[in-house]
Amino acid sequence: MASLRNNLRPFLAARSAWLAGFIVLAACLGYGQAVNSCLDCHSAQEGRLGVTPEKFSQDIHAQKGLTCTSCHGGDASSYDPAQSMSRKAGWKGKIDRKQIPQLCGSCHSNPALMRTYNPSLRTDQLDQYHTSIHGKRLATGDDKVAVCVDCHSVHDIRPPSDPRSTVNPLNVAKTCSRCHSDAAYMKSYGIPTDQFEKYNISVHHDALAVQGDISAPTCTTCHGNHGAVPPGVDKVQNVCANCHVFQAQMYQKSTHSKAFADKGLPGCVVCHSNHGIHKPSDAMLGTGSAGVCMRCHAPGDHCDRARSNILNNLTMLDQAVNGADQALRRAEAAGMEVSEARLNQDQARDALTKARVSIHGFQADLVDQNVQAGMKIAAANRKAGDDAMVERNRRRIGLGICLIAIAFMLVGLWLYIKKLES
Amino acid sequence: MIAAMVRWLDERLNLEGLIAPFKHKTVPTHRLSYWYFFGGITLFLFIIQVLTGILLLLYYRPGANEAFESVQYIMTRVQFGWLIRSIHSWSANLMIFTAFVHMFSVTFLKAYRKPRELTWVTGMLLLFLVMGFGFSGYLLPWNTLAFFATKVGTEIAGQVPIIGHPMMIFLRGGEEVTGATLTRFFGFHVAVLPGIVTVLIAIHLFFVQRQGMSVPPKVEADWTANPSARREMKFFPNFMLREMMAWYVAIGALGALAALFPWELGVKADPFISAPAGIKPEWYFLFMFQTLKIIPSKVWFIDGEVLGVLGCSLAGMFWLLLPFFESDKPARTRAWITGLSIFALVYVVGMTVYGFLAK
Amino acid sequence: MCAEQPPPPDTSRRRAIGFFLGGGVLATLASFLYPVMRYFVPPAVVDLGGDEVVAAKLGDLKPNSGKIFRFGARPGLLILNSDGTYRALSATCTHLGCTVQYRSDLREIWCACHNGTYDLNGRNVSGPPPRPLTVFEVHERGDEIVVSRKREA
């Protein structure tokens, strides 16, 4: 059906006026109330004016019983363009960009009305929008900024839970990037356009798009959606703390919290950056190119010594865990059963993670505590692996003794047979 | 002292009379005599299986939630548990191997011919049952490989027309491989099969005892032409002592295999994960498995799998009845059966190797 | 076996046979029986998990507190509610596999790694966790709290 319509489209477009007349006739024959004259004509139109019934049927609003006239006004029962698209019938035509938030808000900000569709849906989007950079700029007459339909699409608006929705967590970054990565479009605002590029190599993008963890953050998780504004330099840690609880708690109590605030430095971002957050590594504590501490601290001072202490501790535990892994692998390769120690390695790895988290308190002794706990587990696991190798050697000795006994027996039997048969 | 005890028992139970038939039993001595050992070695490995199997029963617990853990317990916590289990596993494989060697040696030495047809039939039944031991025992540790091997194996059994599906349900204890299958296989493995096999072994040995050892036709012909070349050895103690040497070598080999290559445990079976790629049955089923794989999915109008299963069953049936196709004149053997035997050996070995190498 | 043989002509050879045969029998018997005897000795650790585990003793836990116990290969979480009922769940967070803990202040199960929370029925309430925690069965047997996997119906 769809392909048939597509094939016929040029033909229909060329004769739309003629056809309209014909359809009016058909409409008079009794199809009056059931038809939607908007779609009948607009499905035959090209480009921005084209809306097919297939497209519109995907729209959550269409599914809830709303029609073209709900937003655009006019008379959908009439096939006479003069009537259906008459201002008298309330026809609004193309909605002005500046009016779009108000139009959407006329329903979405009305709790009484929204309750009749989805009682749990929030109704503060418009209010929030007014507080966002987008909303504020729109109010000053800048219509290049995003309005509802720029993010939510138009005529095929799907709920965010739908994977095909432009505002589904997996698609949000792409949606934002349509404007924010367009250097020409963003030129007049003087803000960077590399956020999408950076985000795409970040640990959060990896978690979200590659590992499929839809709880991982995308643009709106930190910036908000309808009220989108950068979180603000001094409030970054509050945003990160939503997921990274321990790190934030320790940071708040640390000396860095106050020092950064005094200097007007953006908390977590100072070391981890913002959009292009890499998976953290111990090298961040080092003095190499990945190191972050020495950007501010002077070599040889008290903090530098604490830093190298912490780094050495973490490296030690990391090596201990890897060493235990190797010992267990060796034992497994020798056919020994060490699955229990293998499982305990998870605890050692947990302890390492915990120790790494605890550096956010910037106190060497705090890290040391966690490292020591991990060292104990790793050492026990390593011992299990080494013990297995000792056990393997013991088995070989036992085997040797047994084989000697068997050899004795064979010699005895052979001599006996020889004697019998001599 | 021992002599006195033996005398004491002999006076009461007439041990002499019990051993007497063995004393008269002789074993022909010729250049192919060493093939006679393989039956005895297989029997010895079966005894090892019974003994280590009983030991494993002390700690093993059937059940989907416990089987893997209990085998792990045996392997890690029980002193020398690794040894008992590894010997049980290695011995199982060696037993199937020696049983095959025994079967093929009997085939090529034409030992199955009149009057030994029934010995052959009981032997073949024993071979099938031993493979059943292998199949049912393989599942008991309830690890991933065993789980999927059992799934595939029982599915193949389900391909047999008409009786296939009910047979699969019978084996699995339901539509799927579950804990119920494990319970069943455990029952087969430790109760049903040992009972039947023990009885069959007794019959098999009784037949061998009654009929004496077969002499290969060529050797027999030589001896008939030149009666002075005929050589024999007393079964007891001469042959028996040699057999004991073979047993000691076997147990030494088992110990070495168990100590140097402990049988691995694998990963606990999880029915909800997808089958690992390239799942293969144990090596002794590989030639049949590979046969099924190379048959195209449709041959003419018959389903390839069904054809393969039917073919394998018919071949097995034919092999079981092999003696009845042989000439009953002692002096003549049928050449086509020899040819077929060579083909069977080459096919089984070739397909097994191919199965190992194939992806 | 040796008793009924006629005396051999050479006693030193006879002695050698006796030495090898007798020594061999004893040595092999010893090397076969020793592992078997050791095998019979029940190991000190009675159970390696499986279907059920003793998670705690009665009175180990204060009301409104939780405890991590080992259930087979993975950690479990035993909670004593303030009304005196026990509850046991898998302690492995369904998000990235951290070990969860009971928060007596929130009366919730909490994962510190990314601030995920579950209610006492194991349902993922907020934060990243995509799935509920597995709930185990708890029985009191004497003074032991026994946790077992739920049987499928």
Mean pLDDT of successive 10-residue segments in chain B (359 residues)?
83 80 82 90 96 95 87 88 95 96 94 91 96 95 91 88 90 91 95 96 93 86 87 86 94 93 85 77 90 83 84 92 83 83 94 88
Scan residues 320-339 of A and list those with Cβ closer than 8 Å to C. Answer: 339
Q: Quick check: B265 contacting A, CB < 8 Å?
A: yes
CB–CB contact A410 B241 (8 Å):
no
The per-residue pLDDT for A33 is 44
Q: Quick check: C31 contacting A, CB < 8 Å?
A: yes
Q: Which of chain C's residues have a Cβ under 8 Å away from the Cβ of B77?
A: 43, 45, 48
Q: Quick check: B325 contacting A, CB < 8 Å?
A: no
State both tokens at A155. Answer: 């005529």
The per-residue pLDDT for C67 is 87
Residues C18-74: tens digit of each pLDDT:
888 888 899 999 999 999 999 999 887 665 455 678 888 888 888 888 888 878 767
The per-residue pLDDT for C5 is 54
Q: Return the bridge partners of C137, or none.
A: C148
How far is Cα C62 from Cα C11, in angstroms, rounded to an integer? 82
The gap from C-alpha A159 to its chain's centroid, in whole angstroms, comes to 18
- Asked if pLDDT for residue A52 goes beyond 80, the answer is yes
Of B241, B242, B255, the CB nearest to A402: B255
State both tokens at B23. Answer: 């004393």
Mean pLDDT of A151-179: 92
Asked whether the beta carbons of A112 and A149 are under 8 A apart, the reply is no
Q: Quick check: A417 contacting C, CB < 8 Å?
A: no
The per-residue pLDDT for C139 is 87
Of C32, C43, C50, the CB nearest to B66: C50
- Asked if pLDDT for residue A415 goes beyond 60, the answer is yes
* Phi-psi domain of B94 (left: phi exceeds 0; alpha: psi -120 through 50; beta: other): alpha
Mean pLDDT rounded to a whole number for chain A: 86
The per-residue pLDDT for C46 is 60
DSSP, collapsed to helix, strand or coil, labels residue C118 as strand
Q: Quick check: C25 contacting A, CB < 8 Å?
A: yes
Of C14, C99, C128, the CB nearest to A215: C128
Asked whether the beta carbons of A295 and A263 are under 8 A apart, the reply is no
Q: Which residues 6+ apart lie within 8 Å of B132 measured at CB?
A: B188, B193
Comparing A62-76, A310-324, B47-61, B96-110, the range with the smallest average pLDDT is A62-76
Cβ-in-10-Å burial (0-12, 13-18, 19+) of A164 comes to exposed
How far is Cα A236 from Cα A226, in angstroms, rounded to an integer? 19
| DSSP per-residue codes, C44-83 | SS----SSEEEEEETTSS-SSEEEEEEETTEEEEEEE-TT
Q: How confident is the model at residue A12 (pLDDT cuts 50, 70, 90)?
A: very low
Q: Which of chain C's residues have a Cβ under 8 Å away from the Cβ of B70?
A: 48, 50
DSSP, collapsed to helix, strand or coil, labels residue A301 as coil
How far is Cα A57 from Cα A124, in angstroms, rounded to an integer? 26
DSSP, collapsed to helix, strand or coil, labels residue B47 as helix
How far is Cα A217 from Cα A173, in angstroms, rounded to an integer? 10
Mean pLDDT of A273-299: 89
* Cα-trace Rg, chain B: 23
* Cα-trace Rg, chain A: 35
Among C12, C14, C28, C111, the residue to mutate for chain A (most A Cβ within 10 A): C28
Of B3, B55, B72, the CB nearest to C39: B55
Scan residues 212-241 of B and list those with Cβ closer than 8 Å to A. Answer: 237-238, 241
* Phi-psi domain of A409 (left: phi exceeds 0; alpha: psi -120 through 50; beta: other): alpha
Comparing A88-92, A135-139, A414-418, the range with the smallest average pLDDT is A88-92
- Asked if pLDDT for residue A408 goes beyond 60, the answer is yes
Task: Sort strands C144-148 and C124-126 into parallel, antiparallel or unpaired.
Answer: unpaired
B neighbour chains, 3+ CB pairs within 8 Å: A, C
Q: Å from A299 to nearest chain C CA? A: 33
CB–CB contact C50 B251 (8 Å):
no
Q: Which residues 6+ apart lie within 8 Å of A305 measured at CB?
A: none
CB–CB contact B261 A335 (8 Å):
yes
Asked whether the beta carbons of A100 and A148 are under 8 A apart, the reply is yes
Number of H helices, E strands in chain B: 15, 4
Sign of CA dihedral A110, A116, A118, A119: positive
Cβ-in-10-Å burial (0-12, 13-18, 19+) of B356 comes to exposed
Q: How confident is the model at residue A23 (pLDDT cuts 50, 70, 90)?
A: very low
CB–CB contact A337 B75 (8 Å):
yes
CB–CB contact A417 B241 (8 Å):
yes
Buried b (16+ CB within 10 A) or exposed e, B279-318: ebbbbbbbbbbbbbeebeeeeeeeebbebbbeebeeeeee
Q: Quick check: B72 contacting C, CB < 8 Å?
A: yes
Q: Quick check: A402 contacting B, CB < 8 Å?
A: yes
Q: Quick check: B4 contacting C, CB < 8 Å?
A: no
CB–CB contact A244 C19 (8 Å):
no
Q: Which of chain B's residues have a Cβ under 8 Å away from the Cβ of C39?
A: 55, 58, 78-81, 83-84
Could you count the other beta carbons within 10 Å of the beta carbon of residue C19?
A: 14
Q: Which of chain C's residues have a Cβ under 8 Å away from the Cβ of A416?
A: 17, 21
The gap from C-alpha B113 to its chain's centroid, in whole angstroms, comes to 21
The per-residue pLDDT for B300 is 78
Torsion angles phi and psi, residue A123, rounded to 5 = -125, 20
Name which of A345, C43, A71, A138 is nearest B59 in CA terms. Answer: C43
Q: Å from B354 to nearest chain A CA? A: 26
Q: Which of chain B's residues have a Cβ under 8 Å away from the Cβ of A339?
A: 72, 76, 265
Of C5, C99, C129, the CB nearest to A350: C99
The per-residue pLDDT for A40 is 85
Cα→Cα distances C73→A419, B75, B90, C99, C111, Å = 60, 16, 28, 13, 19
The per-residue pLDDT for A101 is 93
ipTM: 0.85
Q: Which of chain A's residues have a Cβ under 8 Å away from the Cβ of B75?
A: 337
CB–CB contact B241 A413 (8 Å):
yes
Residues A92-151: tens digit of each pLDDT:
888 888 999 999 999 999 999 999 998 888 899 999 999 999 999 999 999 899 999 999
Among C19, C111, C114, the residue to mutate for chain A (most A Cβ within 10 A): C114
CB–CB contact A409 C112 (8 Å):
no
DSSP, collapsed to helix, strand or coil, labels residue C148 as strand
CB pairs under 8 A between A and B: 51
Nearest Cα residue in chain B from A420: B238
Nearest Cα residue in chain B from A408: B248
Residues C70-109: tens digit of each pLDDT:
787 678 899 998 888 899 999 888 888 888 889 888 889 9
Could you count the other beta carbons within 10 Å of the beta carbon of residue A366?
A: 17
